[in-house]
Structure 1
Amino acid sequence: MSATDLVLRFVYPNNPNADFRTVNIHQIVEGSDAAPIEMYKFHHPNTGFMTGVTSIQRKNMDTQIWENAGQIEWSSNTSGAVYFGVERVIFRASSHPAATSRRFKVNNSEYKWKVAENGTDLICVSDSLTNRGKTIALWTQETLILRVAERAEGFLDRVVVTCFLNLWFKRLNLW
């Protein structure tokens, strides 16, 4: 990863009763004294329920207004649909206990999240022929930081949401 990466810190509520699917994500500007910038808000109001809707908002940095970036409709703790505008993407936890990666597509390119060698962090790499194996994002569990390569900013919402879902599955020991 490089100095031009987008650095995002996941900030979970201090409330012990808050659902883990509620999280704010702040952009950290490395090497700067600037305060973290709120960038995403995931809100799941149905604490403790397997179903419900997690709303996803993204701050428009030009207008400073929160905009709808999508939503996650949970059919269960392990499956549902993500809506990015009118596009609907079905998801479910893998039924294969030995699965080592989780894939997602953006346009005609494929990417996959995999567990790092330390067993806690996640790495997202390109799985397309021309860029196979190139890291586009790295989740560090110890610091709750997601680093996203500059080349992935065009599909940042997809990277953030798929990371969020994979963290949920890891929390449920489904990976």
Structure 2
Amino acid sequence: MSTTDLALRFELSSNPNADARTLQVLQIVDQNSAGAGQSTVALYKFHHPNTGLTTGVTSIQRINTDTQVWENAGNIDWSSNTSGVVYFGVERVSIRELRKPKKPSSKSRRFRVNNSEYKWKLAENGTDMICVSDNLGSRGKQIAAWTQDTLTLRVAERAEGFLDRVVVTCFLHLWFRRYSIW
């Protein structure tokens, strides 16, 4: 991962009554070239209004950095705590397809973007996660990394074209790990 990566911090709602699926994803921005001083800018908002219910819809909004207007990036329509459908615009994808193991004993979870496949896997420490390409010619190249201690997702510049998919799949894996389901 390099200095041109996007650094994103997941921040849970400060409202004690908010559902755990309500959070903001903040972009960490360096203030100067020396790296001294950082600020954050809200990039995504996840909102789940049905606190405590296993069903409901989590809305996902992304800030348009040109207009500073929040736009719909998709939503997750939960049929239970562990199943449902994700909408990325008009594209409908089952949560199962965004967390697909290659085989039953697999320790990674795959997702597709167009004709490319990527996989999330647990890091050696068992708490962090790494997302790598699983395509011929770029197999094993890291596109994102989750650090549990700082609640930070670093996304490689080459993955910005499908950033929504990377952020949402990371969120889903964190949600499932909350229930000790990998």
Report how many aligned residue pairs link the two structures: 175
Residue identity matched to 2:47: H
Deviation at 1:32, TM superposition (A): 5.2
Structure 2 counterpart of 1:166, which letter? H
Deviations 1:135-164 (A, max 9, x none): 000000000000000000000000000000
Q: Is the 8 A contact 1:81 1:89 kept in 2?
A: yes
Counterpart Cα distance in 1 of 2:136 and 2:20? 36
Matched residue SS, 1:110 = strand
C-alpha displacement of 1:17: 2.7
Distance 1:172 1:97 in 2: 19
Contact 1:94 1:174 in 2 (8 A): no
TM-score (norm 2): 0.91
Question: Does residue 62 of structure 1 match 2:66?
Answer: yes
1:148 aligns with 2:155: yes
Match of 2:84 in 1: 80
Q: Deviations over 1:72-122 (max 9, x none)?
A: 000111111100111000013679884311110001100000010000001
Q: Which runs of 5+ in 1 are unaligned?
A: none
Contact 2:100 / 2:111 at 8 angstroms: preserved in 1? no
Q: CA RMSD in A?
A: 1.6
SS at match of 2:45: strand
Q: Which residue of the other structure, out of 43, 51, 56, is the alignment partner of 1:52?
A: 56
Amino acid at match of 1:46: N
Q: Is the 8 A contact 2:133 2:140 kept in 1?
A: yes
2:129 equivalent to 1:122? yes
More deviation, 66-75/6-15: 6-15
Matched residue SS, 2:80: coil
Whether 2:25 is the aligned partner of 1:21: answer no
Q: Is the 8 A contact 1:72 1:83 kept in 2?
A: yes
TM-score under structure 1 length normalisation: 0.95
The residue identity in structure 2 corresponding to 1:9 is R
CA deviation map 1:50-72 (0-9, x unaligned): 11000000000000000000000
Change (3 A) 1:66 1:32: farther
1:35 positional shift: 2.5
Instruction: Work out the CA distance in 1 between the residues paired with 2:137 and 2:104.
Output: 29
The percentage of aligned residue pairs carrying the same residue is 70
Which 5+ residue runs of structure 2 have no aligned equivalent?
Answer: none
Distance 1:94 1:126 in 2: 14
- Equivalents in 1 of 2:51, 2:156: separation in Å? 33
Write out aligned runs for 1:75-114 (5 A). Answer: 75-92=79-96, 98-114=105-121
